[in-house]
Amino acid sequence: MRLGRWELTQYRPRRRRGSRQASYGYRRPRRRTKLAPWRRQAVKGGAALIAVGGLLGLLGHLWSSGWFGDQVDNGQRALVALAGGAGFAVGDVLVEGRQRTGGDDLLAALGVSRGMAIFAIDPDAARQRIEALAWVREASVARRLPDTVYVRIEEHEPLALWQQDGAVSVIDTNGAVIPAGQVAQFTDLPLVVGDGAAQRAADFLALLATYPAVAAQTEAAVLVSERRWNLRLKGAIEVKLPEDQVATALQTLTSMDKEQALFSRNLVAVDLRLPNQMILQKRPAPKERPDAAAAPRLAGKAT
């Protein structure tokens, strides 16, 4: 029974021996202890942190054990198989840009077969394998749904033969050595010689080609000290070009040959290194061998 802030409770005093009588009295009820608001928030925050920490620990364990990866892989495999059954299977491979790369080598690097699910192909991994082929400089691989794999390759373009330290290699337009290039198959390419000549060959040979009379006589272009070029012409004539104003020197050389048949003359060297000057070095005349002393002749018939 509650009376205001009070309540009626049964009072149980210590019983005297032999007494069963119970008496009643009033006493103040116990107050429930209330936490301050900030303490309640702290308790709730702590509980939340404990829950989040436990969840993160569980997720970390599942991740480290590979459970998520397995589920994702299983799901992907199921989707790929489903797509393949729905008509998204490889039926054709379209290749663009192939000239020297072997077809079987290309298909092996691509890693596809007719009928396999087209979504099972990893275009980036296939591209890397194709670019590892000897003649391939750059490649791209793409799916063309529903059933075609498109491959575009850019092959090394043989530019010249490069001689360095006695070894001869085939180089492309970027100056890179083509590992599959067989020198015997490209003997018609121009020859460049010297350290750094491979990297500078494309620009110089393009300039030389604009002077066909000179280019037709050139057997080799030699880079001297990685600064300037010498030309080795037919007939063992050496043309020393300047470091700068190379085009002007080639034009002078062309004009002199047209006017004075320079390339047909008995020359060892043509020096064009100085501006507005041409120094010709003639081939020395062969030394005359002294006439052998005439052997005495005997008159009459030999007996």
| pLDDT, tens digit (0-9, with 9 covering 90-100), for 272-303 | 999 889 999 998 877 766 554 445 554 444 43
User: What pLDDT score was predicted for residue 152?
Assistant: 97
Question: How many angstroms from the chain centroid is the CA of residue 206?
Answer: 26
Q: Is the pLDDT of residue 13 over 60?
A: no
- The average pLDDT across 90-95 equals 93
Q: Is the pLDDT of residue 81 over 60?
A: no
Q: Give the count of beta carbons closer than 10 Å to the beta carbon of residue 253.
A: 23
Tokens of 230: 């010498």
- The average pLDDT across 30-35 equals 58
Lowest mean pLDDT among 36-40, 112-116, 209-213, 222-226: 36-40
Residue 110 banded pLDDT, cuts 50, 70, 90: very high
User: What pLDDT score was predicted for residue 83?
Assistant: 44
| Most confident region among 62-66, 68-72, 88-92, 222-226 by mean pLDDT | 222-226
**All domains of the chain in start order, with CATH:** 87-155 (3.10.20.310), 158-282 (3.40.50.11690)
Please give the residue that has the higher pLDDT: either 252 or 60. Answer: 252
Phi and psi angles of residue 207, each rounded to the nearest 5 degrees, phi first: -65, -45
Classify burial at 254, counting beta carbons within 10 Å of its beta carbon; exposed 0-12, middle 13-18, buried 19 or more: middle
The one-character DSSP state at 171 is: E
Collect contacts of 195-199 with beta carbons under 8 A, ≥24 apart: 195/164, 195/223, 195/226, 196/223, 196/226, 197/162, 197/164, 197/221, 197/222, 197/223, 198/160, 198/162, 198/164, 198/169, 198/171, 199/175
- The average pLDDT across 172-181 equals 89
Question: HEC states along 177-231?
Answer: ECCCCCHHHHCCCCEEECCCHHHHHHHHHHHHHCCHHHHHHEEEEEEECCCEEEE
User: What pLDDT score was predicted for residue 302?
Assistant: 44
Tokens of 289: 């061998």
- Percent of the chain predicted with pLDDT > 90: 55
- The average pLDDT across 148-152 equals 95
- The average pLDDT across 110-137 equals 93
Residue 9 banded pLDDT, cuts 50, 70, 90: very low
Rounded to whole angstroms, the Cα distance separating 215 from 16 reads: 136
Residue 131 banded pLDDT, cuts 50, 70, 90: very high
Q: Is the pLDDT of residue 266 over 60?
A: yes
- The average pLDDT across 185-194 equals 95
User: What pLDDT score was predicted for residue 6?
Assistant: 40
